[in-house]
A = this chain, B = another copy of it.
Amino acid sequence: MKKMTLKEIAQVFNVSISTVSKAINDSHEISYGLKTKIQQYAKENKYRPNKLALNLRQKKTKTIGVVVPNILNYFFTQVFSGIEKVANEKGYNLLSCISDESYEKEVKTLEFLGGGTVDGIIVSMAEETQFKSKMDHFQNLLDEHIPLVMFDRVSDDVLCDKVVVDDYEAGYRTAKYFLNLGCTTLAVVSAIDQSSVGRLRVDGYKKALSEADIPFDDRLILRLGKKDDLELLMSLLLNYKQIDGIMALDEITAVEVLRIVKARGYKVQEDISVIGFTNGKLSRYVTPSLTAVSQHGTYLGETAANTLIERMEGRTGKDFSTRIIKTSLVVRDSTKKL
């Protein structure tokens, strides 16, 4: 039972290929009798039009390319899941690629996707790309008029639709929340200082401090490199000043911070409040459960997919949009009660 083609069906009925094509597509041009016979035959023999031929003919694939830096990160998984949901509803498929935070892989991937394989692309930049600030590969896509939506890790140098988390605002409001709680010596632990996202959060934090007339102290910002020892840096930090609030910019780091703080004998909540970014499963189940900034990854993904699909289907003007997803704070047990 090999794949069957229009040609074969045509031979069976001794008609032309185009007749069969029309019959199968239920064209009114074909007589009722012949049409039903052909349709029935097609169904019985499980005829399926060859997608490759259709793609070539119609110059579209009904496929969206998705490039994420790392799928093992729950936030990106959530976004992916949101994209999938919308894409599926609207009849699109997902060609998924992982850049592994590598610039080179990202370039190759986008080059590939630009080759006609997909109708549009959704991407969040690799860390290395953000670091290098090289955006040519995105520009190439734009030059070829391939619809592109960037999310979360975006660049001002690329003119396309974007969906971002309001990281500045999130940093600001998180710091504010600490201040309202009565915390005054606020540290930040960032494992993502390379990225715009991380820096925006710190900027928001600075603004909150300045509004409260608290001088900014850079030594309270712990910037964690790939090979750094968090344990060690944390103990330096904790010895430096009597810290009563820590904001950790990703979930794993937040959980680690929690562990270290506990291990060093501090009482989380009473002595030190901790808030993490990214509200994933860990935050909920860790002890004490972690107050966290939710970035609504799934919703973000849905928004990105909708934006792209609208663009692909020409239902948007020529101006690019930047949609901003509001964060929200999920209060749990790692912060003082109000």
Contact = CB atoms under 8 A, between A and B. Distances in A.
Contact of A116 (B51, B95, B255): B51
A117 interface: yes
Contacts of A281: 252, 281-282
Nearest to A251: B281
Contacts of A39: none
A285 interface: yes
A255 B255 CA distance: 16
A83 to B, nearest CB: 10
Counting every copy of the chain, the complex holds 2
Interface stretch (A28-36, A56-64, A175-183, A317-325): A56-64
Interface residues of A, number: 48
Nearest to A142: B1
A237 to B, nearest CB: 21
A275 to B, nearest CB: 16
Contacts of A140: 46
A93 B77 contact: no
Question: Which DSSP category, helix, strand, loop or mixed, fits chain A's interface?
Answer: helix
Interface string A133-170: 00000001001110000000000000000000000000
B84 A98 contact: yes
Contacts of A223: none
Contacts of A12: none
A143 B51 contact: no
B1 A143 contact: yes
A2 B115 contact: no
B50 A52 contact: no
A51 B117 contact: yes
Contact of A72 (B81, B143, B285): B81
Contacts of A51: 115-117
A105 B287 CA distance: 38
Nearest to A3: B144
Which A-B residue pairs are the 10 nearest by beta carbons? A287-B287, A51-B115, A96-B96, A1-B143, A52-B56, A51-B116, A52-B55, A255-B285, A51-B117, A48-B115
Given A52-B117, A71-B80, A93-B112, 10 more contacts: A3-B116, A48-B116, A50-B56, A52-B56, A52-B61, A55-B56, A81-B98, A93-B95, A93-B117, A255-B285
